[in-house]
Structure formats: C-alpha cells, structure tokens
Amino acid sequence: MTALVLLFLISPAHTHAQEVIYQPGKDIRDPVLIREVKPIYTEDAKNRKVQGSVELSVVVRADGSVGDTQVTRSLDPDLDQEAIKAARQWRFRPGTKDGDPVNVQVAIEMSFTLRDAAPVYKVSSAGVTAPKATKIVNPDYDDSARQERIEGTVELEGIVEQNGAISAVHVVKSLDERLDRQALKALRQWQFSPGQKDGVAVRVQVRVEMSFTVK
C-alpha cells in the first residue's frame, strides 16, 4: 500500500520550457490537491520487499494539471515510474500570483510500505464501526480570507489508520484555497479511536467538514 505526502518547495522563480515557473512563497499561493491517484505497488517490488519513498519535483500548471515531472530521490526504477505515472494524474486548484493562476513547482513524496497493505473500509461496510475523534484541532482562519468575509465549509476525506492517525487527507469540496489549506493542516493533526470490523481495528475512510464563519 502507499502513503502520500505533499510538500512545497520554496525558492526563487525560474524559467523552464519558455514558461515562468514559480515556487510557493510570500507572493505565491500554494496549489491545493483536489484529486489524488495512488501509485501502483508492483508485485515484483513487493516480492523483493522494496520499501521507502520516491520524491518527485512536479510543475502544477495554471490549469491545475501536472506538467514536467522528475524524480529527485529514487527508490526503485519500477516504483519511480509508477510514482511518476500516478503524479501526472493528480489535479490541483492551481497556485496563484496576484490572484491569477500560474505554474508552480512543488515536491511530492510517495511512500511504499508493505505494512500498510491492509484494506480500507467504508463506514457503510457491513460490520464496520466508525472511527471516533479523540483529538480535534480547529483550523485557523486565514486573515485575508476573514477580511474578505469568506464563509462556508470545506469537505475533506482521509483514512483513519489502525493506530488512530489519519492519512491520505485531501479536499473533496473546496471553499477557498487559503481556507482549504488551513483545513488540511488542521485535519492532519486529528487523532481517532480507530474503526473496527469484527472487533479488530481496521483502516476506515472518513469524511470531515470544517466550517468557517466570520463572527
């Protein structure tokens, strides 16, 4: 099974393939992941017990698609290629400069871990009990979004692991890129009492809504 971590690089803008490519920074809004495709963990790699992470440098285009993709930290030739193929199918709310969508370079880390190979259940599955939040972290209200009186709800999805941590968090219903980012940051800090199936802790997919209201 694979775990995914989205990282952001910070460095000056540069030109690539005759296009300006920015890095998230003071004047650049980060891209926000809205569709994630997991890489295939090949049977050959599993049989060889290859585990670890592939780090990629990718360009998130102004239309939210993924452009140039390069391996910056290799794990295994087969898994490197699977990570590239998966990343090229990801979709983002694009990064912006002065409110306009721009090309932004980010780093994506994809981890391949044999111990995470347990199946993922839905709460609606027969015999599966829902995880219960034991630690809730409320999102910060981005100051500029508050000043603009942006209100509403961000809907997120993730997987509650057997140890109660939450992974693979992503936005399924966006409100505003600044508030999406705060919601993602908050949910990644939550802890749960894991869901169970037949009395045994299992991985369960959950949806969480985070509301932003100007008071």
Work out the mean pLDDT of the chain and round it to a whole number. 86
Q: What is the CATH number of the domain that holds 179?
A: 3.30.2420.10
Model pLDDT for residues 5-26, shown as the tens digit of each residue:
454 443 333 434 457 988 766 6
* Residue 15 belongs to domain spanning: 2-116
- Looking at the chain, the whole-number percentage of residues with pLDDT higher than 70 is 89
**Residue 146 and residue 176 in one domain:** yes
pLDDT, position 15: 39
Q: Encoding tokens for residue 193?
A: 């009492």
Overall domain count for the chain: 2
Q: Are strands 120-122 and 191-193 parallel, antiparallel or unpaired?
A: unpaired
- Confidence at residue 132, expressed as pLDDT on a 0 to 100 scale: 96
Euclidean distance between CA atoms 117 and 136, whole angstroms: 27
* Whether 62 and 32 share a structural domain: yes
Which pTM value belongs to this model?
A: 0.55
Residue 12's pLDDT is what?
36
Task: Give pLDDT < 50 ranges for the chain.
Answer: 2, 4-5, 7-17
Helix H or strand E encompassing 76 = none
Last residue of a domain, one of 72, 94, 116: 116
For 109-126, write each residue's pLDDT tens digit: 888 887 655 788 988 778
Q: What is the pLDDT of residue 134?
A: 97
Domain co-membership, 108 together with 146: no
